Amino acid sequence: MMSEVLNVDVCVIGAGSGGLSVAAGAVQMGASVALIEKGEMGGDCLNTGCVPSKALLAAAEKAQGMREAGLFGIEPVKPSVDWEAVNRHVHEVIAAIAPNDSVERFESLGVTVIQAAASFVDEQTIEAGDVKLRAKYFVIATGSSAFVPPIDGLDQVSYFTNENLFSNREPVEHLVVIGGGPIGLEMAQAHRRLGTKVTVLEVARLFMKDDPELAAIVVERLRSEGIMIHEGVENLRFEKRDKGASVFANVEGEEIKVDASHLLVATGRRANVNGLNLEAAGVSYSSRGVEVDVRLRSSNRRIFAIGDVAGPYQFTHMAAYQAGIVIRNMLFKLPAKVDYSAVPWVTYTDPELAHVGMSEADAKEAGRGVRVLEWSFEENDRAQAERRTEGLIKVVTETNGRILGASIVGLHAGELLQPWVLAISQRMKIGAMASMIAPYPTLAEVNKRIAGSFYAEKLFSAGTKKVVRFLMRFS
């Protein structure tokens, strides 16, 4: 029997990045807010996704630096890895961030936090544990979970997903990664640098969404570090071993067998829609998530959806962006719409691979007249000092200089991408980037140099020389 009935302005379902942003923003702007979470506060990003994966990558980077110290005149050493201590580092990072996402913090802001599973009763009512709740608006922010495909024999063996990988405290002898997306490749490199033998099996090709020329630089680096990569694999199947599993696959028409001590299944994400009883609320959805319009409203106009459960981009930063759109719609009755023209994404391998906006193919398909600019990190003095010149930036502009897209591969590519995100979102032209003063020596000079190259042909042309010679006669 329900012991309590609550009435609030806004009910948020899911305490991940998007849900927390809506709850914190709405309550501080004067709305009464309830936040429902059946699992851990902070959601996937804090507990099993972005935060622990980047903490593990940081540990792996330190190990790799010990191996490569000889480049700088320092005796290289083989790192001795204490897996339990590495795991402790990962969870200390989570613990340092967790207070920002905690029940206590949100209750201190005035949010009513309910720790239970949520299920709609009707279009304006939800049940969560012993609480029945009515709200003027609902925001579904339930995120996504690891998708495990029905591969022959997989149900007979043990395997990691991102949801349990970061609980491991034991050495991993040979990790076989199924899936060559960002999660799979980041964890493949992290484990390789921590001393594990690693094999990656991908049914398609790596970096499907990214520029092939830039992606090839990352793949070359991964292979140079000793990661075995197979693309276009077929007929995957698994057999249980005493310790681990045997993985069978066809590669270029031949069957291979890989004996794994551990498996990581990194084959994508699936929206968390089950158990919400969305039918009772009149919300249309599919296995890909809740169907929303450009204002992030579902088929029930008082129910919004954001983040992984709403797509089309399953990134933490997109959930936070969408939270702002929803707040403007709900609280201020503004018809704010999502704009996906400047969506950035980064794969945090080393080197990083980052992109925003249109690719050359996208722009041409849209009928734009384009120019494609390229600049190598070999031309950057800071990259030379860091001995990290295996980088490339590629920028797509219209013929009038308006910036359409940018892709970067190299050290700190995700950081270097940010001015291009701003430029595209503000519809800026390449001249703005070319005219900025970039501190020397920084990697960020590649942004100014590539922008300046847009004008090089005209600036150093025979016509310019003729004008200068003429003007010098009167000096």
Distance from C-alpha of 15 to C-alpha of 68, rounded to nearest angstrom: 41
Pick from 26-35, 354-363, 466-475 the range whose average pLDDT is largest: 26-35
Pairing of strands 234-240, 344-347: unpaired
Domain of 182 in residue numbering reads as: 154-267
pTM: 0.95
Distance from C-alpha of 403 to C-alpha of 420, rounded to nearest angstrom: 8
- Of 332, 363, 384, the one marking the end of a domain is 332
Distance from C-alpha of 196 to C-alpha of 165, rounded to nearest angstrom: 14
Cβ proximity of 50 and 181 under 8 Å: no
440 and 374, same structural domain?
A: yes
133 and 13, same structural domain?
A: yes
Which amino acid is present at 40? E
229 and 119, same structural domain?
A: no
Asked whether residue 108 is domain-assigned, the answer is yes
320 and 350, same structural domain?
A: no
283 and 138, same structural domain?
A: yes
352 and 328, same structural domain?
A: no
Instruction: Show the tokens assigned to 189.
Output: 């490199």
The CATH number of whichever domain residue 426 belongs to comes to 3.30.390.30
- Looking at 26-35, 232-241, 358-367, 421-430, which range is the least confident one? 358-367
Residues with Cβ within 8 Å of residue 104, at least 6 apart in sequence: none
Asked whether residue 79 is domain-assigned, the answer is no
Length of the chain: 475
Asked whether residue 61 is domain-assigned, the answer is no
Checking if the pLDDT of 5 tops 90, the result is no
190 and 134, same structural domain?
A: no
Checking if the pLDDT of 250 tops 80, the result is yes
Asked whether residue 218 is domain-assigned, the answer is yes
- Of 267, 289, 321, the one marking the end of a domain is 267
Asked whether residue 468 is domain-assigned, the answer is no
Distance from C-alpha of 257 to C-alpha of 250, rounded to nearest angstrom: 9
| Average pLDDT, integer, range 409-431 | 98
Distance from C-alpha of 134 to C-alpha of 122, rounded to nearest angstrom: 9
Q: State the average pLDDT for the chain.
A: 96
| Average pLDDT, integer, range 59-68 | 98
256 and 167, same structural domain?
A: yes
The CATH number of whichever domain residue 308 belongs to comes to 3.50.50.60
| Average pLDDT, integer, range 237-255 | 95
434 and 349, same structural domain?
A: yes
Residues with Cβ within 8 Å of residue 345, at least 6 apart in sequence: 209, 313, 315, 354, 355, 356
| Average pLDDT, integer, range 314-335 | 97
Cβ proximity of 106 and 71 under 8 Å: no
Asked whether residue 393 is domain-assigned, the answer is yes
Checking if the pLDDT of 259 tops 80, the result is yes
Q: Which of 400, 433, 405 shows the shortest CA–CA distance to 419? A: 433
Name the band, by pLDDT with cuts 50, 70 and 90, for residue 460.
Answer: confident
Name the band, by pLDDT with cuts 50, 70 and 90, for residue 459.
Answer: confident
Cβ proximity of 328 and 317 under 8 Å: no
Cβ proximity of 167 and 52 under 8 Å: no
138 and 10, same structural domain?
A: yes
290 and 217, same structural domain?
A: no
Asked whether residue 286 is domain-assigned, the answer is yes
Neighbours of 231 (CB within 10 A): 15
Asked whether residue 54 is domain-assigned, the answer is no
Checking if the pLDDT of 3 tops 60, the result is no
351 and 416, same structural domain?
A: yes
Total domains present in the chain: 3
Quick one: pLDDT at residue 458? 84
* Beta-bridge partners for 305: 140
Distance from C-alpha of 10 to C-alpha of 279, rounded to nearest angstrom: 20
- Of 223, 251, 267, the one marking the end of a domain is 267
Checking if the pLDDT of 2 tops 90, the result is no
The predicted-structure confidence for 329-365, as pLDDT tens digits, reads as follows: 999 999 999 999 999 999 999 999 999 999 988 998 9
Name the band, by pLDDT with cuts 50, 70 and 90, for residue 319.
Answer: very high
Distance from C-alpha of 277 to C-alpha of 35, rounded to nearest angstrom: 18
Residues with Cβ within 8 Å of residue 110, at least 6 apart in sequence: 27, 32, 33
Q: Which residue has the tokens 């290289």?
A: 76
Residue 73: helix, strand or coil by DSSP?
Answer: coil
Checking if the pLDDT of 277 tops 80, the result is yes
Instruction: Show the tokens assigned to 232.
Output: 């276009």
The predicted-structure confidence for 110-167, as pLDDT tens digits, reads as follows: 999 999 999 999 999 999 999 999 999 999 999 999 999 999 999 999 999 999 999 9
Distance from C-alpha of 129 to C-alpha of 118, rounded to nearest angstrom: 8
